[in-house]
Structure formats: C-alpha cells, structure tokens
Chains A and B, each alone.
Chain A
Amino acid sequence: MAPLREIKRKIGAVKKTKQITKAMNMVASAKLRGAQQRIERFRPYAEKYSEILTDLSSRVDASIHPLLEKRAEIKTVGIILITSDKGLCGSFNVNLCNTALRLSNKKKEEGKEVKLFCVGKKGRNFFRVRKYDIEESYPDVMSNFDFQLASEIGSKMNDMYLKEELDEVHIVFAEFVSMVRQLPQTSQLLPVQQDEESVQEGPTSEYIFEPSMEGLLAEILPRFIKVQVYRGLLDTSASEHAARMTAMDNATKNCDEMVGQLTLVYNKARQAAITSELMDIVGGAEALKQG
C-alpha cells in the first residue's frame, strides 16, 4: 500500500484538477450563451436569404449562372472542414474530422482530386499528421471571428470555382442541435442546389427586379455562399462550447468519484498503520513482561 503522504498528495492534486475543470465548465457555458445569441441574431438574415434565393432560383434555368450549373465532369472536390482551435471537448473534433475523412476518401475512390480547407487548428493538425495535402488553413480564428472571415473564405471558393480549380465544394461543420447533441453535418456549397420540388414556370413573378433577375442572382449567389459559411462557423462555435461543457461536467464528476475512492484508500491505510503500530507496542510490552 502506498505511503499515507503520497495518497494525500494525490487527493490534493485531483481536487485541484476538479477546480480547473469546474472553472472551464463555467467559462464554456458563458461562451455558449454568447454563441447562441449570435446564432439567434443571424437566423432572420439567413432565413430571408434562402427564402429569396429559393424563390429566384426556382424561376430560372440552372444554366443561367455558373454557380448554379452542375458540371458534367467533376474532377476536383473542395472540402471545407470547420473545427475548433482548442481541445478538451470530448470527441467533438474527432467526429468532425472523421466525417471529413470519410467524405474525402469516398471522393478519392471515385477518382476525384480532393482539396482541403481547414478552419480551426484541430482539423488542420488531424490531416497534417495523416500526411494529407491541405490547400489552405485558417488557424486560431474560432475564438474571435466575424462575417469578414466567412466573406474571405466564401470569395475564395467562388474564385476557385469560377476558375474551374474546383468543381464541387462541400462544407463539414457541427450542427448545434441541443446542449447534449452536436451533429457533424455535411452540406453541398457549390454548385448551389436548386429546390427541385418547387420549380415554378417562367419568370412570372409578381416582383419587379432591379437589375434583371440574372443580374440579381449574380449578386445574391456569391453572398449566399458566404452566408452558409458563416452559419457553419457560428454553429460549430456554439457546438464546441456545448461539447466542452459536457466534457468538463463529466470530468468534474470523475474527479469527485476519484476523490471518494482515494479517501477510502487513505482511511484504510491510516487504519492499517495504526493497527500495526498498536501491535508493535503490545508486542514490545509482552516481550518486556517476559524478560
């Protein structure tokens, strides 16, 4: 049995760890609140955007704009992977990375070239260790990003797509479903998918368009990409904090459990020490009596 002092030191260490995990839990919950508010504020904007875009794109033929048109032959696929910069959030990043990895392997099996764009450190490191080529990475952005970042990534995608360096773009992010559920999601960014069901006949809309419907689409489509990237960023950021909260909550619970177990061991060891000391004294006294 370990010496008493060592066990005591261990209990102290675990208690300190518990304080840290508890603090991290609280920090994460505060950040989560902020992230959720940002999503709430962004939602009306995003909804209006997709509403208008669906309305517009369902009225036109896909060949009207290159961002809508499906290419006959797809040679290069771009994957945007959004992960966090920091760890300590359970299986959050691994789940995201694996989703991206599966997608990338699937595309490679189909004989397509894959270009990776990693937002956040964790995704970049994951693919770097596996010796994948990373086209571009954006580390250390998740703690403090704004629409500018989404704008930058979005324009890059548009440019590369129009130059035919990419024929298809997917985005992998963590959808924030609830506090305890964050789902890795994959959605197609480019070409922009048209809602097949609600295709309406001809440009008989009640709206007047300025400039023309085509001109308007050319304005809205690239922005829509940015909106979607921004949504991915916001969702992933909220999910990250939620995942960290859960992980830290578990860690705190484990600490409590460990302290309990160690205290039990400590008490037993103390008992044993006292008993053996008593035995020594009694034994010594007996020996003296006889002598």
Chain B
Amino acid sequence: MANLIKLEIVTPDRNLLSEEVEYVGAPGVSGEFGVLPSHIPFLSALSIGSLLYKQNGKRYYIFVAGGFAEVTPSKVTVLAEVAEKAEEISVERARKAREKAEQRINQQKEEIDYVRAKAAMARAMHRLKCRESGVSAGTCSL
C-alpha cells in the first residue's frame, strides 16, 4: 500500500469528505501549499480557491472559501465555511453570480458594495475554475 494521508473536510453543515489520499494541495493565504504524508505539523488560513487531492493517481478538486487547515503527519483537517465538490458546483449559478458581480463592479456605487461584489466575483470565478479543473482531470462528470 502506498503511503497515504487522511484528508478530512468539515463545514458547519456537513462532513464533506473523509478519505485516505496520496497528496493534498490547498490554497493558503500566503500561496498554495502541498502536503504529502508525514508532513511537519502546520496550521494555515485558507483563501478562496480550489483544493486538490490525489487518490489512486486521479486528481479531485474541491472548492473552498474561508477557513483554515490543520496538518499533522498523518492527517489534514480542513475547516471551511463553504466547501463544494467539483461535481456539486452549479455552473449556471456561478456564471450568473459572476455576471451580477461584474455589473456591480462596473457601477461602483458604494465602497462596501464594491468590496462585496469583488468577493462574490472571486467566489464565482474560482467555482468555475474548480469545475473546469475537475472536468479536465476526468474526475467530474458533466
């Protein structure tokens, strides 16, 4: 058996995932980081983006937003406010959200709205990107 590390993804509403995997790549606030089994204990805040894990040589993608990851030599725990598997992402919804955010940004009414629109935009873009990666890796059926 190959060297494996346990990956657990937990959100406030559910336990999204609990699997033995070969590799985890996560979007940390100060850049992406990769975790292999026997990684040194590590704690990082996460930004918005795609989390990648490899299992049986295949790449799987998960969209995460907000939260942090705790890494121990045998386990990675991701606590995220939002987490969705690539196949759960609704492309249509993400597209619509992006369009709406684009409109808001172009209008540039108030500052607070602007910040919100930017965040919404980032979420929508990363959702789409995550979905695309999943499709191209062949682990997410359309």
A interface residue numbers (CB < 8 A to B): 38, 41-42, 44-45, 48-49, 52, 146-147, 150-151, 206-211, 215-216, 219-220, 223, 227, 230
Contact = CB atoms under 8 A, between A and B. Distances in A.
A210 B45 contact: yes
Contacts of B28: 210
B113 to A, nearest CB: 15
Given A151-B81, A208-B41, A223 B10 contact: no
Interface residues of B, number: 23
Given A210-B29, A219-B68, A48 B42 contact: no
Given A52-B70, A216-B44, 4 more contacts: A48-B79, A209-B44, A210-B28, A219-B68
Contacts of B137: none
Main secondary structure of the interface of A (DSSP, over half): helix
Contacts of B66: 223
Interface of B: 10-15, 28-30, 33, 40-45, 66-68, 70, 77, 79, 81
10 contacts: A41-B15, A45-B10, A147-B13, A151-B81, A207-B41, A208-B40, A209-B42, A209-B43, A216-B44, A220-B68
Nearest to B29: A211
A147 B41 contact: no
A223 B67 contact: yes
B41 A206 contact: yes
Nearest to B11: A45
A219 B45 contact: yes
B14 A41 contact: yes
Contacts of B45: 210-211, 215-216, 219-220
Given A45-B12, A48-B79, A210 B30 contact: yes
B100 to A, nearest CB: 17
Contacts of A215: 29, 45
Nearest to A56: B43
A38 B13 contact: yes
A49 B77 CA distance: 11
A199 to B, nearest CB: 19
A128 B33 CA distance: 52
A44 B10 contact: yes
B129 to A, nearest CB: 23
Closest 4 CB pairs of A and B: A210-B44, A219-B45, A147-B12, A208-B42
Given A206-B41, A207-B42, A219-B29, A48 B13 contact: no
